[in-house]
Amino acid sequence: MNKLAFSLALFFIWPGALVAASIERIDPPNWWAGMHNQDVQLLIHGEGIGGYEVKLDSTDVSLQAVDSTDNANYLFATLKISPSFNKEFVTLKFEKPGQEAIAYQYPIFKREPNSAQRAGFGNRDLIYLITPDRFANGDTSNDAFAEMGDELNRSKEFSRHGGDLQGIINHLDYLEGLGVTQLWLNPVLENKQPKSSYHGYAITDHYKVDPRYGDNALYKKLAKKAKQNGIGLIIDLIPNHIGHKHWWMTDLPSNDWINFNNTFSPTNHMRESVQDPYAVEADRKQFADGWFVASMPDLNQRNPLLANYLIQNAIWWVETANLTGIRIDTWSYSNKLFLSQWSDRILAEYPQLNMVGEEWSTTPNIIAYWQKGAINADGYASNLPSLFDFPLQASISPALIEDENWNTGLIKLYKTLASDAIYPNPSALTIFADNHDMSRVMTQVNGDATLNKMALTLIATLRGTPQIFYGSEIAMQHPGTESHGAIRADFPGGWVDDSVNAFAGKNLTQEQSETLAYVRQLFNWRKSANAIHTGQMHHLAPKDGVYCFTRFNAQERWLICLNKNTNDVTLPFAQLTPLLDSGKTATHFLSQEAQNLTQGLRLKARAADVFRIQ
């Protein structure tokens, strides 16, 4: 019997003829021998299964524990799998006095060679964020399914538009040419919600790709094809909540599975309460246990069975699809002790994997609290390597569009970076100018393509791992609206009837074409600029509308200067000396024009210039 047959989870009487099974599903649907943690907890769901005894037929797999809950339709069986296990499945036997026994062939696979040693994303990479429904429609046959609900209608901002995994596969060459080395997709797991399901953040099945995107096999194919193009795949997971149409919601595994007794009680969004020394427990509880909206039930990760389920789900996807990283939605809204356990368990399996958490706070001390290595006043120890640098993001567009003054303009960017001492590892942060939940950077800078390029230059050259949002390379914008449906607009060229095709460079405006060409040059140059990846940084305080910083190591030194002025500026050699380390020549990274620094450095008007210093 092949692996596909096993993964279909066949049931049969033991002994006896084939009959209808009382087991509806087992999660995870398979596991592997040779994992760091040899135990796997199986969620077993079926009518009355809680009254059955579980037995095994293997000497290489042992039954460590069987847990029941207040719901008789569930059992949780924990297996220990010996590294020497070399079969394709283990047979689970379910027995109950007076009832015919049931057997289930549970698949156990061999791990891919060096799976545990996989490299995660890091500072050498460019992460490209895609909302899959809005990027490209590569297979029109999966555009809509009656049983899934939520209409297909490209004319409506919050309906499904038809983008899918095949559309992304079809354009991997475009992404590689752009300089992309990592893909972060908004969640692609099943969202069987009645409306506005396109964003993916209301999961209804943790082990199934949404059929409107494809299936699990196509997701694995995307990861494989992307790897062939030098691109890793980052999964977006949501341990905090689910969609209210999740299959659990019709038969909850236990009465404490959902916070606030399965009754909507909104979060207060007080992220500060987690570390606020004056916060009352009621505020902390309302923040962490409260629901985002009524259609997103909040999960109770204090339940150890649920906590284990969520941890194993993350590991299962990394192993199944050969992923290079995890992006975690609404990081701080989950139980914080669970979050430490969650990240610790995953990194025990994949020590070099990277994970980045979303903590949407613009105060550095709140971000720093959650990073691995932080010494916190309350003793909390996080294991999360990276977080999104929301404080830096919040300073970029003001730095570019505000008039220069003692507390406005470039000084905001300078002061944000000056706060880096609070982070355990600022270079491990993930930096960005925009994402799927906020105004596109082109809109933030009032539709100014020059400032858009300056913002992207900052993202390419500051410390951290850069992430850009699909369409930034062609200066996509949404003037006059902050609607998320408009922010997550269709990428031009992703549908066969599109008159503009950015993939092919067809019918782009001059502004769009110039931006695209610049982004390609910028991020492909960045691939080999080692000092930009891991080098040190020094900067000069902004002066007269100019801000300069250097990234350097023992082999190379790069000087990046932003000139907001409407005229060219020449910086005196003496002013730049602290950044030069005796260098006398500045060579522009694109034009290769060299300047003698002893005569001053000429900066173009309204530009971010990058120079090699020698």
Residue 53 a catalytic site member: no
Taking residue 290's Cβ as centre, other Cβ atoms within 10 Å add up to 18
**Contact at 8 Å (CB) between 246 and 257?**
no
What one-character DSSP code corresponds to residue 404?
P
Structure tokens at 321: 């699809």
Q: How many CB atoms lie within 10 A of CB 204?
A: 21
Q: List, as one string, the DSSP characters of 421-433.
A: GGSS-GGGSEEES
Tokens 């024009």 map to which residue? 593
Catalytic residue chosen out of the listed positions 133, 349, 358, 420: 358
Local structure of residue 6 (DSSP, 8 states) = H
Q: How far apart are CA 128 and CA 346, in angstroms?
A: 23
Residue 558, strand partner residues:
551, 612
Candidate list 125, 150, 329, 490, residue with the active-site label? 329
Rounded to 5 degrees, what are φ and ψ at 581? 50, 50
Is residue 112 within 8 A of residue 123, CB to CB? The reply is no
Rounded Cα distance, 488 and 498, in Å: 16
Beta pairing, strands 182-185 & 232-237: parallel
Give the Cα-Cα-Cα angle 459, 436, 189 (nearest 5 degrees): 120
What does the buried/exposed string (b/e) look like for 480-503 if buried means 16 or more CB atoms within 10 Å of the residue's CB? eeeebbbbbbbbbbbbeebeebbb
**Alpha carbon of 476 to those of 81, 186, 461, 483: distances in Å?**
50, 18, 22, 14
Q: What number of H helices and E strands is found in the chain?
A: 17, 27
For 346-351, the CB contacts below 8 A with 24+ separation are 346/311, 346/314, 346/315, 346/318, 347/383, 347/385, 348/36, 348/37, 349/35, 349/36, 349/37, 349/116, 349/315, 349/318, 349/319, 350/115, 350/116, 350/118, 350/120, 350/318, 351/116, 351/117
| 426 contacts: CB under 8 Å, gap ≥ 6 | 420, 463, 464
Chain centroid to CA 451: 26
Terminal alpha carbon distance of the chain:
64
Cα–Cα nearest to 477, from 444, 499, 510, 509: 444
Angle at 563 between CA 561 and CA 567, to 5 degrees: 140
* Per-residue b or e along 74-107, where b marks 16 or more CB atoms closer than 10 Å to that residue's CB: bbbbbbebeeebeebbbbbebeeeeeebbbbbbb
Q: How far apart are CA 230 and CA 170, in angstroms?
A: 15
Residue 329 among the catalytic residues: yes
Neighbours of 60 (CB within 10 A): 16
The CA-based angle 386-392-395, given to 5 degrees, is: 165
Active site residues: 329, 358
